[in-house]
């Protein structure tokens, strides 16, 4: 770029680089809290784009969406408005692992989020590529674009997704490209390395899209949406209408044989792809090789939108050459004559080592630089949006001279996600799962507003209207809990209890008592005409609270014990090399991560309980 052509493109307090799901939430969090914000995107048509699965939510991801919503974010609202179908996953399992998942209309989702951004005060959207982060005296001072424009600012949130030096790979064909044919970002990585980021290379992939008119759905199992569930957003009273079904089919031994016989043409196995891919969302090649004992794998056929015939073939992500893809897909029941509209591909991209960032998502080496989303090595729209919201909020708080906002592991899945990234790091694309949350019995979807909405209001993101809805729901919940503990006279409950194999009680029995005897809530309500005036979501949360009361009590006790370690702060300038008794590995890891407290220190890989004991002793003798 010719340096003589520099000009001031715009002056902002904060710049968000990238308008994917992380960038949208970051920009909205900043602008809605009064920060003058510029949002840079390579292409206005890629705002909030769904380049892989056209869905929002899923196992553990649904928890993230409801938490984003409870904090005042936008993803849940847009997901409800643009859903083609919504379902509750794991409905037959415990409340802690049940997760909402919506099949989204890809084009409608993009259009609705773009509309929201365009009409948000304090936010300007600019189609431009960032080429350099400007730094002076260890602080961010602006962003430079490839067109020569400079945007002076005090904070930048990097939400670059899979676009950084993006390359798509199909067979032996490698192209400089972002997802879905969008242009990659080829100029920013050098600047990030220059200011001190450790850059690495990750991979993800996507399956083919087929023409729905050429699919034989008679050979597939129909998957309808649910109606008797709640929506993503606490601002909505009812779930979205189910407009289109999905379908289930399976691979077979013929499919697997085609893949195994052509592994020499697979970029994953012939050396073309050398970056690290996602363990928990592998390609069909990887599944067939890794699980050779399985005779079939599930394949879901999911509509991409109400205005298109494109169907997403979930479960068959691949980077095989086009001729092999045609054979693979044609071997699957229902897809024998399906026309491929877009072939599958793998995509490699640059990301950073998250041990270089703080729990606020701010870069440790440069003040005012934040990262969120796939640049942090995560996979998934929901993980990205959660980080974007938190990075945007923390940048806003810093610019407003207020304390940072960090959620603990016992407060939210968002807390688990970020703590894992900044404490343990990740050597592969990170995906949120319920098993990662040790306090998941307390971190359910149904109570996300109880956990987070007041916190969102305190930091300025939750509106008065949202707070009022939350307060109404909380008051109804507390009143209902009281009513559920009122005893119903013995004569009224005796015959009812006998139907479920219980002896006649010696006195009155409350609804709470009956729930603990595993009697269904709906049966109790129907028999005694109770709680009909309460919203279904309030009844459900109250029922879970009563039914899991013992487990919740244990969970809260564990949380209190963990908080005692979290409350023991470690000095930011502590010299771990000088602490006698710490093992060499622990010293190296502690110096790298620089944990904020003993709780975080104990979660660092390579730091064992003996090291924590040494640190506790050191703290007791060096107390201020």
Is there a contact between 223 and 196 (Cβ–Cβ < 8 Å)?
A: no
- Please name the residues in contact with 503: beta carbons below 8 A apart, sequence gap of 6 or more: 497
First to last CA, the chain: 53
* Cα–Cα distance list, 378 to 39, 140, 405, 432, 605 (Å): 21, 24, 21, 9, 18
Confidence at 1, pLDDT banded by 50, 70, 90: very low
CATH numeric code, 568-621: 1.10.150.570
Domain 209-348 of CATH type 3.40.190.10: no
What gap in Å lies between CA 139 and CA 310, rounded to an integer?
A: 46
HSE at residue 158, side-chain half, CA atoms within 13 A, is 33
At residue 308's C-alpha, the angle toward residues 307 and 309, to 5°, is 140
| Domain ranges (residues) in the chain | 3-204+349-458, 209-348, 476-557, 568-621
- Using an 8 Å Cβ cutoff, are 299 and 315 in contact? yes
* pLDDT at site 371: 98
SS3 300: strand
- Spatial CA neighbour of 237 closest among 245, 229, 248: 229
- Biggest distance spanned by C-alpha atoms of the chain: 91
Q: Catalogue the long-range contacts made by 170-174 (C-beta closer than 8 Å, 24 or more residues apart).
A: 170/267, 170/319, 170/320, 170/321, 170/322, 170/343, 170/344, 170/345, 170/346, 171/265, 171/267, 171/319, 171/320, 171/321, 171/322, 171/324, 172/265, 172/267, 172/272, 172/321, 173/321, 174/272
pLDDT tens per residue across span 555-605: 888 888 888 888 889 998 899 999 989 999 999 999 999 999 999 999 998
Give 448-494 pLDDT, tens digit per residue: 999 999 999 999 999 999 999 999 999 999 999 999 999 999 999 99
**CATH architecture, range 476-557:** Orthogonal Bundle (1.10)
Helix then strand then coil, % of the chain, to nearest 5: 40, 20, 40
Tell which residue, 95, 494, 84, has the closest CA to residue 305.
84
- How confident is the model at residue 557, as a pLDDT? 86
- The predicted pLDDT at position 623 comes to 63
In the chain, % of residues over pLDDT 90: 88
Alpha-carbon distance 444 to 544, whole Å?
10
As a whole number of angstroms, the distance between CA 321 and CA 581 comes to 56
Give pLDDT tens digits for 34-69: 999 999 999 999 999 999 999 999 999 999 999 999
Give the pLDDT score at 274: 82
pLDDT tens digits, 487-527 = 999 999 999 999 999 999 999 999 999 999 999 999 999 99
The answer to whether residue 624 scores a pLDDT higher than 70 is no
Give yes or no for residue 178 having a pLDDT over 90. yes
Q: Do 582 and 614 form a contact (C-beta atoms < 8 A)?
A: yes
pLDDT, mean over the chain: 94
Comparing 274-283, 367-376, 514-523, 606-615, the range with the smallest average pLDDT is 274-283
Average pLDDT over residues 302-321: 97
Segment 96-113 shows an average pLDDT of 97
Q: Please give the Cα distance from 389 to 392 (Å, whole number).
A: 5
CATH architecture of the region 3-204+349-458 = 3-Layer(bba) Sandwich (3.50)
**Residue 380 backbone class (left: φ over 0; alpha: ψ -120 to 50; beta: rest):** left
Q: Could you tell me if 178 and 166 are in contact, meaning their C-beta atoms sit under 8 angstroms apart?
A: yes
- For 227-247, b/e burial (b = at least 16 CB within 10 A) is eebbbbbbbbeebbebebbbb
User: DSSP letter string over 419-434?
Assistant: HIIIII--SS-B---G
């Amino acid at each position: 770029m010719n340096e003589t052509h520099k000009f001031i493109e715009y002056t902002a307090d904060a710049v968000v680089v990238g308008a994917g799901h992380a960038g949208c939430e970051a920009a909205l969090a900043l602008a809605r809290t009064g920060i003058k914000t510029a949002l840079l995107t390579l292409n206005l048509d890629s705002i909030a784009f769904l380049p892989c699965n056209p869905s929002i939510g899923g196992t553990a991801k649904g928890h993230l969406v409801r938490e984003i919503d409870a904090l005042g974010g936008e993803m849940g609202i847009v997901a409800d408005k643009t859903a083609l179908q919504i379902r509750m996953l794991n409905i037959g399992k415990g409340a802690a692992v049940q997760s909402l998942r919506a099949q989204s209309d890809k084009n409608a989702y993009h259009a609705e989020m773009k509309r929201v951004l365009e009409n948000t005060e304090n936010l300007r959207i600019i189609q431009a590529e960032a080429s350099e982060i400007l730094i002076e005296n260890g602080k961010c001072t602006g962003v430079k674009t490839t067109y020569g424009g400079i945007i002076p600012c005090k904070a930048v949130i990097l939400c670059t997704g899979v676009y950084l030096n993006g390359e798509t790979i199909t067979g032996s064909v490698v192209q400089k490209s972002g997802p879905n044919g969008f242009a990659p970002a080829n100029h920013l990585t050098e600047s990030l390395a220059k200011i001190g980021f450790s850059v690495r290379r990750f991979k993800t992939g996507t399956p083919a899209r087929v023409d729905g008119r050429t699919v034989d759905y008679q050979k597939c199992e129909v998957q309808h949406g649910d109606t008797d569930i709640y929506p993503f957003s606490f601002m909505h009273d009812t779930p979205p209408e189910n407009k289109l079904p999905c379908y289930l089919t399976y691979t077979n031994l013929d499919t697997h044989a085609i893949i195994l016989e052509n592994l020499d043409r697979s970029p994953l196995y012939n050396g073309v792809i050398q970056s690290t891919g996602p363990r928990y969302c592998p390609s069909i090649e990887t599944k067939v090789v890794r699980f050779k004992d399985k005779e079939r794998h599930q394949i879901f056929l999911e509509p991409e939108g109400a205005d298109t015939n494109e169907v997403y073939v979930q479960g068959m992500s691949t980077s095989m050459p086009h001729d092999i893809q045609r054979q693979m897909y044609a071997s699957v029941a229902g897809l024998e004559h399906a026309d491929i509209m877009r072939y599958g591909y793998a995509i490699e991209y640059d990301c950073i080592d998250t041990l270089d960032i703080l729990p606020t998502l701010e870069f440790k080496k440069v003040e005012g630089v934040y990262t969120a989303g796939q640049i942090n090595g995560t996979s998934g729209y929901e993980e990205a949006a959660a980080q974007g919201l938190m990075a945007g909020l923390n940048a806003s708080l810093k610019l407003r001279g207020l304390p940072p906002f960090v959620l603990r592991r016992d407060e939210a899945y968002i807390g688990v996600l970020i703590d894992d990234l900044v404490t343990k790091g990740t050597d592969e694309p990170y995906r949120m799962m319920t098993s990662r949350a040790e306090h998941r019995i307390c971190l359910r979807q149904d109570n996300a507003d109880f956990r987070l909405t007041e916190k969102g209001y305190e930091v300025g993101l939750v509106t008065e209207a949202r707070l009022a809805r939350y307060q109404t729901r909380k008051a109804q919940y507390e009143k209902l809990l009281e009513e559920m503990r009122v005893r119903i006279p013995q004569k009224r409950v005796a015959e009812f209890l006998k139907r479920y194999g219980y002896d006649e009680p010696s006195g009155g029995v409350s609804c709470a008592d009956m729930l603990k005897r595993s009697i269904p809530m709906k049966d109790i309500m129907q028999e005694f005409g109770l709680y009909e005036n309460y919203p279904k979501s309030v009844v459900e949360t109250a029922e879970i609270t009563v039914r899991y009361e013992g487990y919740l009590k244990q969970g809260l006790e564990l949380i209190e014990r963990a908080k005692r370690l979290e409350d023991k702060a470690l000095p930011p300038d502590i010299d771990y090399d000088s602490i006698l008794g710490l093992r060499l590995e622990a010293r190296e890891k502690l110096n790298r991560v620089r944990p904020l407290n003993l709780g975080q220190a104990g979660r660092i890989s390579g730091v064992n309980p003996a090291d924590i004991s040494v640190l506790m002793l050191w703290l007791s003798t060096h107390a201020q």
